[in-house]
Amino acid sequence: MEYSPYFDPLLETLSREEITALQLQRLRSTVEHCMHSPFYAERLKQCGVSADSIKSLDDLKRIPFTTKQDLRNTYPFGIASVKPEECVRLHSSSGTTGNPTVILHTQKDLNEWAAAVARCLWMVGLRPYDVFQNSSGYGMFTGGLGFQYGAEKMGMLTVPAAAGNTKRQIKFMTDFGTTAVHAIPSYATRLYEVMEEQGIDPRTDTRLHTLIIGAEPHSEEQRRRIEEMLGVKAYNSFGMSEMCGPGVAFECREQNGLHIWEDYYIVEIVDPETLRPVPDGEVGELVLTTLNREAMPLLRYRTRDLTRILPGECPCGRHHKRLDRMKGRSDDMMILKGVNIFPIQIETILLQFEELTSNYLITLETRESNDEMTVEVELGQLFTDDYGRLQELTREITRRLKDEILVTPRVKLLPKGSLPQSEGKAVRVKDIRKHF
Ligand code: COA
Ligand code: AMP
Ligand code: ZN
């Protein structure tokens, strides 16, 4: 493998024994550091775990899982292991109706996050002479600043195009000689279709050769279609805000599983019902323990993402374990246009309108290569049939939903009794998106 400042053979090709020894040493210091977190100090005391009592990685199992609910309960800073004044940035999830989740970062965290992303970008063959365009949302979306700092650290010319305005994205690509783009898979299709409308052939009219795709589940077939359409190699990128953002696990050039950086994380796969470990090769919920975080280490964090560890070694020479592409979630979180949405967020907003009943249906579908959400909701008895008032109400519900979930739904108000009544637990979400 080619040496570079961003490919560290010492860390990337560690043997299993070396990875285990490094993880044990970093787990001990993480647990020691967690004693500064009001939340973890109490929790570690309750389960009787201290840094000194950790003799092997198996001792990790003595510590209870950390959940998203723990992050919400300790909102905003109660789980952090340093004081907010020692931090330089925070990222928060969307939502105004409940407690969002907040992730704090020190400067060291940001530096190491950027280094992890740079490592991933180098791994897929990008080099400082490449031009990297990022179509992620910036601000709180970690795909924005996460890729920005990683790509800059690697030395690439970066184009922080941000989300939306597809024609402008394409103009940037042709004018600036963009060679690599980060886009969510459904948006990659949109990019191609707008190029087609404009008579632009990505193979001859652009210098594109690499796409980084992630943030939402996609199939192998979808990846191959994207590669074919745009004439690129497309690499799967996995991350989440709780673990900083992108840079957690990434495909290498073998495109056969995502290497999860085990010098940064301890990986467990558990049965989401029993919470017992499942053997390598079997699907379960991904649980991660951070090993290098300063502001906000997380111990045994339940990601709710379903995947499996691919058995066997990768021909690329890296021994860091490989995750299979994500198979779904063990909770009801939806991902639309790269934005995470919980049905309860929608329900909470709808319930704030006295004109509405609690009977609603969310449909996710693909229209003209755009993923869209339709929210159908039944009107209550007292409702007027004044058309103007109906329109005004629809606009107001749409605006309030957009504020909450960050994407714009199509809202349809229906007469009472129009939606199917299901026995037992009502089916609230229908996902009929078509991605090939
Ligand atoms: N990335 C980039 N652009 C996107 C996108 C995405 N995930 N989803 C939609 N868009 C584009 C649309 O194509 C449209 O542009 P166009 O009409 O020029 O083609 C524009 O954004 C607005 O989309 P629309 O669907 O009308 O808006 P919305 O109000 O429902 O959604 C977004 C608003 C797109 C700004 C919001 O969904 C968003 O910020 N998504 C990006 C999330 C992200 O970056 N996630 C990655 C985290 S790692
Ligand atoms: P966020 O915290 O907004 O970055 O969202 C993180 C979530 O996005 C993860 O927990 C996954 O559910 C999803 N996600 C991120 N990357 C991928 C990917 N490559 N494939 C499938 N889902 C992904
Ligand atoms: Zn590999």
Which residues of the chain fall below pLDDT 70? 1-9, 382-383, 422-425, 436
The answer on 199 and 111 residing in a single domain is yes
**Together in a domain, 318 and 380:** no
Structure tokens at 95: 């939502």
Please report the atom of ligand 2 found closest to the CA of residue 325.
Answer: 20
Q: Are residues 18 and 105 in the same domain?
A: yes
Model pTM?
A: 0.96
Q: Is the CB of 370 under 6 A from ligand 1?
A: yes
Residue holding tokens 């210098």? 207
**How far is 151 from 432, CA to CA, in rounded Å?**
35
Residue of 364, 245, 252, 248 whose CA lies nearest to 307: 248
Among candidate residues 330, 354, 380, the one where a domain is terminated: 330
pLDDT at 383: 66
Tokens, residue 297: 């280490």
Separation of CA 248 and ligand 2 centre (Å): 10
CATH number (domain holding residue 245): 3.40.50.12780
Between the CA of 255 and the centroid of ligand 3 the distance, in Å, is: 8
For residues 411 and 326, state if they share a domain: no
The reported pLDDT for the residue numbered 32 is 98
Choosing from 330, 363, 378, the residue where a domain stops is: 330
Q: How far apart are the first and last CA of the chain?
A: 35
Q: Token pair for residue 312?
A: 């066997």
Domain hosting residue 133, numbered range: 1-330
CB 100 within 8 A of CB 75: yes
- The pick from 243, 255, 305, 405 for probing ligand 2's pocket by mutation, whose C-beta has the most ligand atoms within 8 angstroms, reads 305
Give strand ranges (E) for 351-433.
356-367, 370-379, 410-414, 429-432
Strand partners, 287: 268, 302
User: 267 with 125, same domain?
Assistant: yes
Q: How far apart are CA 156 and CA 129, in angstroms?
A: 6
CA–CA separation, 236 and 214 (whole Å): 6
User: Distance between CA atoms of 411 and 164, rounded to whole angstroms?
Assistant: 21
- Ligand 2 binding pocket includes 241 (Cβ within 6 Å): yes
Residue 201 resides in a domain: yes
199 and 87, same domain (yes or no) = yes
Assess whether the C-beta atom of 164 lies below 6 angstroms from ligand 1.
yes
Q: Are residues 23 and 127 in the same domain?
A: yes
Sorted by sequence, the CB contacts under 8 Å of residue 166 that are 6+ apart come out as 190, 191, 194
Distance (Å) from CA 170 to ligand 1 centroid: 15
Q: 322 and 421: one domain?
A: no
Bridge partners of 251, per DSSP, are 258
Are 341 and 323 members of one domain? no
Same domain, 325 and 338: no
Residue among 259, 216, 250, 213 at smallest CA distance from 232: 213
Look at the block and give the residue holding tokens 């070694």: 313
CA nearest to 73, candidates 34, 49, 38, 41? 38
Identify whether 61 is part of a domain.
Answer: yes
pLDDT tens for 200-230 read 999 999 999 999 999 999 999 999 999 999 9
Q: Is 217 in the pocket of ligand 2 (CB under 6 A)?
A: yes
For the record, the structure tokens of 241 come out as: 């805000």
21-46 pLDDT tens trace: 999 999 999 999 999 999 999 999 99
Which pLDDT tens digit goes with each residue over 272-313?
999 999 998 999 999 999 999 999 999 999 999 999 999 999
Distance 95 CA to ligand 1 centre (A): 17
DSSP-based three-state secondary structure for 80:
coil
- Residue 175 CA to its chain's centroid (Å): 30
Backbone φ/ψ region at 77: left (φ over 0), alpha (ψ -120 to 50), beta: alpha
Based on the domain organization, do 356 and 321 belong to the same domain? no
Distance CA 124, CA 121 (A): 6
